[in-house]
């Protein structure tokens, strides 16, 4: 929440650093790699949070000492001017707060990691799909062009003497087209199917491995679902 | 009550940023360790919400009418978290302690009274609203997952049976908590009109890094239990309206629109409905079969699937506002929009610029009751 960081004057907040965006440079112009800039901004944001927290901690400590000194002067303090019983609670609060911040950071890191993984998986999937689509288009185009060549070759064979012959040669050309088209397609389909079968075998192997690993883990300590 | 004084005092507090709610919760948990269990592991979002809610309350502290609606909603919302009346007293002690701590020399008995009075009025409104709610609603419903079907790469459809029966208006949403992610609640639209068996359908999109969506779609075994909050939301049909309807849903924004369409199918009137269902790519257009069947069964319903980035799609292609704008004149329609924020905003802006009155565009708004 930005509001929580606002001072009397407008100050730069960690959230603003985190969500800063810059216009892309024009095509052909040199610019910084976006991921590097993002990573650096994340680091700046973390540092800013740490500094702000430290600043407040120091402010608290100054306030506490000031109060103790005033209280000490009033009661011409005999017992512990610098650390009294009421401070113990504030210290406990501080310890718990630090523990909470650590927990928050763990959760945030885990979430960021999971975000990155799913994002990568998603874009990888898109790439694979696009490549497959492109490949399919290519196969189709290749089959068509090869078949056309075959048909042309048949047509360009020694000129037919009679009209009957021309019909036959057209049929032969079409046959050559279809046969070549079919062959090219079959070859690609075979390669594709073999690839799929290899993938399935790999999945099976890795799954078997994972199950073995899991049962080995389960035999040890099973702590899933524990906080 | 001295509103100026409370506002000044609060402004000084906010200078300390996240330290304030951090101190407050730590103080609360040290005094009442049993309250820790009511909160999630990570408290970051919680702290932001606390400060945002406090900020809103203090800003509007001298506008009691506007504020009371917000506070009543907040009180009702807190029932599902397990909040009971006596918790408000514990919160009061820690809140006053926190404000005193950060106010330094500015903390005087008068300022303390000012804050305590303000808190009491806030708490009274919340407690009363929660209490009134008890007679009509349980704090939460227990939901059994009957099935979880993966409909697209990242979208699953869940069928859930709530216990007891959960009454709602089509288009509304409920907050859901999964036992795999305790104390994290997320809103999901109910995707069906009320059924005889009372079951509810939810469309869950896997959000990158999303804690709850992942738990609902990946870890949630069928037969597992969920917690459901009370139905909320204003994206519902106006029974008295007679105009034709334009619906635009992006991705799982389809859910509330499907619920409303089913409702219209149960008591068809003269209203024609044009439903645009939009996704980035064709394989994200899930649930097409049931929608096409609905459109085939009802001649008042026109269903148009739209894809924004896939040039080979055999159907409408283009940005959502463009496709909607070039498909008809919508200035006389009641409009319902649901889906990604950006899509909703752009489509709404385009419709307004082409003559649809702002007041006829319905968009979901949970206001401040973000769980």
β-bridge mates for residue B301, sequence order: B273
Using a pLDDT cut of 70, give the percent of chain B over it. 97
Chain A to chain B Cβ contacts (< 8 Å): 89
CATH number assigned to the domain comprising residue B269: 3.40.50.80
Q: Estimate to the nearest angstrom the gap between the alpha carbon of B265 and the chain centroid.
A: 25
Task: Find the range with the poorest average confidence among A4-18, A100-114, B295-309.
Answer: A4-18
Same domain, B279 and B161: no
Residue B311 and residue B317 in contact, taking contact as beta carbons nearer than 8 Å: yes
Does residue B233 lie within any of the structural domains?
no
Does residue B240 lie within any of the structural domains?
no
Same domain, B266 and B163: no
A92 and B16 within 8 Å at the Cβ level: the answer is no
- Touching check for A122 and chain B: CB below 8 Å? yes
Same domain, B352 and B254: yes
Same domain, B212 and B251: no
Tens of pLDDT, residues A65-98: 887 777 766 655 445 555 666 778 888 998 999 9
d(CA A189, CA A139): 10
Closest-CA residue to B364 (of B212, B277, B254): B254
- Element holding B143 (H helix, E strand): strand B141-152
- Touching check for B206 and chain A: CB below 8 Å? yes
Q: Which domain holds residue B258?
A: 245-363
ipTM surpasses cut 0.90: no
- Touching check for A111 and chain B: CB below 8 Å? yes
Same domain, B113 and B25: yes
d(CA B36, CA B24): 12
Same domain, B9 and B99: yes
Query: From the list B23, B51, B214, which residue is nearest A1 (CB)?
Result: B51
Same domain, B29 and B127: yes
pLDDT at position A9: 53
Q: Which of B134, B154, B181 is the last residue of a domain?
A: B134
Q: Which residues touch B353 (CB under 8 Å, ≥6 apart)?
A: none
Tens of pLDDT, residues A160-201: 556 677 777 788 888 888 888 888 888 888 888 888 888 878
A59 and B16 within 8 Å at the Cβ level: the answer is yes
- Touching check for B45 and chain A: CB below 8 Å? no
Same domain, B103 and B197: no
Same domain, B145 and B250: no
Same domain, B8 and B116: yes
Q: Which of B92, B118, B134 is the last residue of a domain?
A: B134
How close, in Å, is residue B74 to chain A by CA atoms?
19
A3 and B21 within 8 Å at the Cβ level: the answer is no
- Touching check for A94 and chain B: CB below 8 Å? yes
CATH number assigned to the domain comprising residue B167: 2.40.30.10
- Touching check for B14 and chain A: CB below 8 Å? yes
Nearest CA in chain A to B26: A93
Residue B62 and residue B3 in contact, taking contact as beta carbons nearer than 8 Å: yes
Same domain, B13 and B87: yes
Confidence of residue A156 (pLDDT cuts 50, 70, 90): confident
Q: Which residues touch B26 (CB under 8 Å, ≥6 apart)?
A: A92, A93, A94, A96, A97, A100
Does residue B267 lie within any of the structural domains?
yes
How close, in Å, is residue B29 to chain A by CA atoms?
9
Mean pLDDT, rounded, for B299-305: 92
Residue B74 and residue B11 in contact, taking contact as beta carbons nearer than 8 Å: no
What are the two backbone dihedrals, phi and then psi, of residue B179, each rounded to the nearest 5 degrees? Answer: -60, -20
Does residue B234 lie within any of the structural domains?
no
B30 and A89 within 8 Å at the Cβ level: the answer is yes
B14 and A6 within 8 Å at the Cβ level: the answer is yes
Number of domains forming the structure of chain B: 3
- Touching check for B55 and chain A: CB below 8 Å? yes
Please, what is the average pLDDT of chain B?
90
- Touching check for B39 and chain A: CB below 8 Å? no
Q: Which residues touch A140 (CB under 8 Å, ≥6 apart)?
A: none
Q: Which of B119, B134, B149 is the last residue of a domain?
A: B134
Same domain, B328 and B353: yes
Residues in chain B closer than 8 A to A90 (CB atoms): 101
Nearest CA in chain B to A225: B180
Query: From the list A4, A93, A94, which residue is nearest B18 (CB)?
Result: A4
Does residue B368 lie within any of the structural domains?
no
Interface test with B, best of A2, A3, A4, A46 (most B CBs within 10 A): A4
Closest-CA residue to A45 (of A6, A7, A18, A10): A18
Tokens, residue B240: 């008295």
Does residue B209 lie within any of the structural domains?
yes
d(CA B305, CA B265): 19
Does residue B109 lie within any of the structural domains?
yes
Confidence of residue B112 (pLDDT cuts 50, 70, 90): very high
pLDDT at position A4: 40
Confidence of residue A7 (pLDDT cuts 50, 70, 90): very low
Does residue B371 lie within any of the structural domains?
no
CATH number assigned to the domain comprising residue B130: 1.10.490.10
Of B149 and A59, the one with more pLDDT: B149
């Amino acid at each position: 929440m930005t509001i929580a960081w606002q001072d009397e004057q407008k100050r730069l907040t960690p959230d603003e650093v985190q969500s800063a965006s810059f216009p892309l440079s024009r095509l052909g112009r040199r610019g910084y790699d976006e991921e590097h800039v993002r990573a650096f901004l994340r680091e700046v944001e973390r540092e800013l949070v740490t500094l702000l927290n430290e600043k407040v901690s120091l402010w608290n400590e100054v306030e506490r000492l000031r109060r103790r000194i005033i209280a000490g002067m009033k009661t011409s303090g005999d017992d512990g001017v610098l650390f009294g019983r009421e401070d113990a609670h504030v210290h406990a609060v501080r310890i718990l707060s630090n523990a909470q911040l650590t927990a928050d950071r763990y959760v945030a890191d885990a979430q960021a990691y999971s975000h990155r993984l799913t994002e990568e998986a998603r874009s990888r999937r898109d790439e694979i799909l696009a490549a497959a689509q492109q490949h399919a288009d290519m196969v189709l185009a290749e089959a068509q062009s090869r078949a056309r060549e075959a048909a042309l070759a048949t047509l360009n064979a020694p000129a037919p003497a009679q009209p009957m012959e021309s019909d036959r040669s057209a049929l032969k050309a079409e046959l050559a087209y279809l046969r070549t088209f079919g062959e090219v397609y079959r070859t690609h389909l075979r390669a594709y199917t073999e690839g799929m079968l290899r993938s399935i075998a790999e999945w099976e192997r890795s799954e078997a491995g994972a199950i073995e690993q899991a049962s080995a883990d389960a035999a040890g300590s099973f702590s899933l679902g524990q906080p | 009550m001295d509103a100026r004084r409370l506002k000044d005092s609060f402004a000084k507090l906010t200078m300390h940023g996240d330290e304030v709610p951090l101190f407050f919760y730590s103080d609360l948990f040290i005094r009442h360790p049993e309250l820790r269990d009511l909160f999630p592991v990570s408290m970051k979002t919680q702290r932001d919400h606390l400060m945002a809610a406090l900020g809103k309350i203090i800003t509007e502290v001298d506008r009691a009418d506007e504020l009371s609606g917000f506070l009543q909603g907040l009180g009702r919302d807190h029932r599902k978290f397990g909040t009971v009346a006596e918790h408000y007293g514990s919160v009061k002690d820690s809140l006053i302690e926190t404000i005193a701590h950060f106010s330094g020399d500015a903390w005087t008995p008068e300022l303390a009274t000012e804050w305590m009075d303000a808190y009491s009025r806030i708490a009274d409104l919340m407690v009363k609203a929660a209490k009134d709610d008890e007679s009509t609603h349980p704090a939460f419903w227990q939901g059994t997952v009957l099935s979880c079907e993966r409909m697209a790469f990242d979208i699953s459809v869940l069928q859930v049976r709530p216990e007891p029966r959960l009454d709602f208006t089509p288009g509304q949403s409920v907050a859901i908590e999964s036992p795999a992610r305790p104390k994290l609640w997320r809103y999901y639209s109910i995707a069906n009109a009320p059924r005889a068996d009372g079951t509810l359908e939810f469309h869950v999109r896997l959000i990158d890094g999303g804690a709850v969506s992942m738990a609902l779609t990946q870890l949630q075994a069928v037969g597992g239990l969920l917690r459901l909050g009370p139905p909320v939301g204003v994206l519902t049909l106006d029974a008295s309206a007679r105009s034709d309807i334009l619906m635009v849903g992006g991705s799982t924004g389809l859910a509330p629109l499907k619920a409303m369409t089913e409702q219209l199918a149960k008591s068809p009137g003269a209203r024609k409905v044009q439903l645009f269902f939009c996704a980035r790519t064709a394989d994200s257009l899930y649930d097409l079969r049931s929608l096409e069947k609905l459109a085939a069964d009802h001649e008042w319903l026109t269903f148009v699937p739209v894809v924004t980035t896939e040039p080979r799609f055999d159907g409408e292609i283009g940005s959502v506002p463009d496709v909607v704008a070039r498909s008809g004149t919508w200035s006389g329609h009641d409009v319902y929009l649901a889906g990604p924020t950006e899509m909703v905003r752009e489509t709404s802006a385009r419709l307004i610029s082409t003559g649809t009155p702002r007041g006829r565009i319905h968009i979901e708004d949970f206001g401040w009751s973000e769980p």
